[in-house]
Structure 1
Amino acid sequence: MSATSFTLADLPNPHDMTDPANIAFLQQKKDDEGAAPKKTTSKKRKSEEGASGSTAKKAKKAAAGGDAEPKDLFSITLPGDENAEVEILDSCDELRRKINALLRTGTITKAAFLRDISRAAYTDAPNIQSKQLTDFLSKKGATAGSTSRVCYASYVYFEKKRVAEGKAKSKHRKDMEDRWEGKGGLPQQRERGYWVGPGDKVVQDSLGSVRTIPGGRF
């Protein structure tokens, strides 16, 4: 006899339904049915197991730092940010390389890039023109274009992006720190001429330093 069904023959007195023994029997059956555990369907069990497994995986990722969201680069502050005087520790050629690499991905337009670098570098977010970007990208040399807003704003943008993504500094960046950190960063001055002797050459290295080679010897 199951816990949820019975026949008249199971009653203590099947001939008199009002017998107190029958009433007690029926009450006991009702109590037994209320205490019976509910069956878990296969579908529900799989769903619960899947949810448990998913939670366990998320916990494992969180413990390993795998679910950490990258920071918002626009919320990051660099030394000198408040006065737009962040030291530039990338050469102009390096910045051109980074800009071209980013634009080639197709994930951002030139217009959007200009808006983002302005927002990253300046509190008043001035409008940087497309021509300014074109002019900067057309130059060549470690300090060529260093007076452009594109140079300063793009450096601040890429540096905040690096910090936000938790990436390490490149060798070039470390070399620039050794050369220019604490000295105002990359020289931001207009290109000028140099007084040299006959046959002497003025050369600039990849970090922006200028020196004279006597007699043109390299």
Structure 2
Amino acid sequence: MSLPGKTQPQSQDSFLNIASNLQNLSQLMNMPAKKALEDRSVNIPSAAQKRDGGKSTASKKRKSDSKDNDVDLVDGTADSTVPKPNKKAKKDESATKKGNAQEKDASSKSQRGGAGDNDVSSIHLDGEEIDSVPVYDTCDDIRTKINRFLREMPGASNAGFTRTINAALAQSTGMKATAAQLGRFLKKHGPTDGAESPVFYASYVFFEKLRIKRKKPKSKKREEMESVWGRKGMDLHDLGNRAFICHQSERPYVTKYGELKFERRQRWCGATSVMWS
């Protein structure tokens, strides 16, 4: 038979053990619920995120994805450190290349039209020592060539051009041209207008030597001029400043080759001679 005094401590210990077990069981049951609540609190959008519809999160995600999708242009592997092509940089590079090409082209033109390319001292023409080189260009032809030369040669001037054509003449020549004479010659118009100017003869000698140096063929007009004028070449006379005596039924005129011709009128007007100028 058990004593009453010994049963009370055993009952108390059992109660404490049961309470401790219940507490442990309660902790075990509450842990998943607490973790779920913590995970849920992370995924629950804030009030600000609700207002913008989650755009901030989506934007951040897209930015992150764009970095991850960068591909190395060398080996094709993903590399977030490789920057994407910059349109402005490409545009600047294209402009630089275009500028370099233009400078190269301008430099090439400058070299073609420079003093070295226009040096014709190695070319000799028959009769140049006595200023009697046969001329097979009209004054209008020479004016066309001069204007083209001044347009195409960088930094060309009237004074510079006269120095160029004078250098093409023999040292003992008396046909040296001046810038003032060049200005007056360019203002004239007609096949023989300005033929007596030193600019006309000196320019012809220069352009003829330049043609030979560059190995260019004669033009059709040049061949026609040779056929019209023969070995002596064109007369260096300005027919617009000269007077002619002809029959009353005739009228003088100048052809495109610089020739003086007389046109006969349809009706006979008598034998009286008249002067045309």
TM-score, with structure 1 as normaliser: 0.62
Q: Residue type of the partner of 1:168?
A: P
Query: In the alignment, which residue of structure 1 is the partner of 2:177?
Result: 128
Query: In the alignment, which residue of structure 2 is the partner of 1:203?
Result: 253
Query: Do the aligned partners of 2:181 and 2:199 also contact (CA within 8 Å) in 1?
Result: yes
Q: Which has the larger radius of gyration?
A: 2
Query: In the alignment, which residue of structure 1 is the partner of 2:223?
Result: 174
**Residues 130-155 of structure 1, C-alpha deviation per residue, up to 9 Å, x if partnerless?**
11001111112211111111010000
Query: In the alignment, which residue of structure 2 is the partner of 1:111?
Result: 159
Secondary structure of the 1:95 match is helix
Query: In the alignment, which residue of structure 2 is the partner of 1:186?
Result: 234
Query: In the alignment, which residue of structure 1 is the partner of 2:78?
Result: none
Higher relative contact order (CA 8 A, sep 6+): 1
Matched, 1:83 2:130: yes
Query: Do the aligned partners of 2:196 and 2:237 also contact (CA within 8 Å) in 1?
Result: yes
Structure 2, unaligned stretches of length 5 or more?
1-115, 268-277
Identity of aligned residues (%): 35
Query: Do the aligned partners of 1:72 and 1:164 also contact (CA within 8 Å) in 2?
Result: no
For the residues of structure 2 that align with 1:161 and 1:119, how far apart are their CA atoms? 12
TM-score, with structure 2 as normaliser: 0.49
Query: In the alignment, which residue of structure 2 is the partner of 1:146?
Result: 195
For the residues of structure 2 that align with 1:125 and 1:112, how far apart are their CA atoms? 19
Which has the larger displacement, 146-155 or 120-129?
A: 120-129
Deviation for aligned residue 1:128 = 2.4
For the residues of structure 1 that align with 2:199 and 2:266, how far apart are their CA atoms? 34
For the residues of structure 1 that align with 2:184 and 2:266, how far apart are their CA atoms? 30
- Give the aligned length: 148
Secondary structure of the 1:78 match is coil
Change (3 A) 1:149 1:157: same
Query: Do the aligned partners of 2:142 and 2:203 also contact (CA within 8 Å) in 1?
Result: yes
For the residues of structure 1 that align with 2:158 and 2:166, how far apart are their CA atoms? 12
For the residues of structure 1 that align with 2:266 and 2:200, how far apart are their CA atoms? 31
Matched, 1:99 2:146: yes
For the residues of structure 2 that align with 1:83 and 1:106, how far apart are their CA atoms? 30
For the residues of structure 1 that align with 2:266 and 2:180, how far apart are their CA atoms? 36
What is the aligned-residue RMSD (CA, Å)? 2.4
For the residues of structure 1 that align with 2:249 and 2:138, how far apart are their CA atoms? 28
For the residues of structure 2 that align with 1:163 and 1:100, how far apart are their CA atoms? 20
Secondary structure of the 2:261 match is strand
Q: Residue type of the partner of 2:206?
A: Y
Secondary structure of the 2:159 match is helix
For the residues of structure 2 that align with 1:83 and 1:76, how far apart are their CA atoms? 16
Q: Residue type of the partner of 2:144?
A: R
Secondary structure of the 2:245 match is coil
Deviation for aligned residue 1:94 = 0.3
For the residues of structure 2 that align with 1:135 and 1:122, how far apart are their CA atoms? 24
For the residues of structure 2 that align with 1:71 and 1:99, how far apart are their CA atoms? 13
Match of 1:155 among 188, 199, 204: 204
Secondary structure of the 1:196 match is strand
Query: Do the aligned partners of 1:200 and 1:216 also contact (CA within 8 Å) in 2?
Result: no
Structure 1, unaligned stretches of length 5 or more?
1-68
**Residues 55-113 of structure 1, C-alpha deviation per residue, up to 9 Å, x if partnerless?**
xxxxxxxxxxxxxx979422100111222211111111100110011112242222111
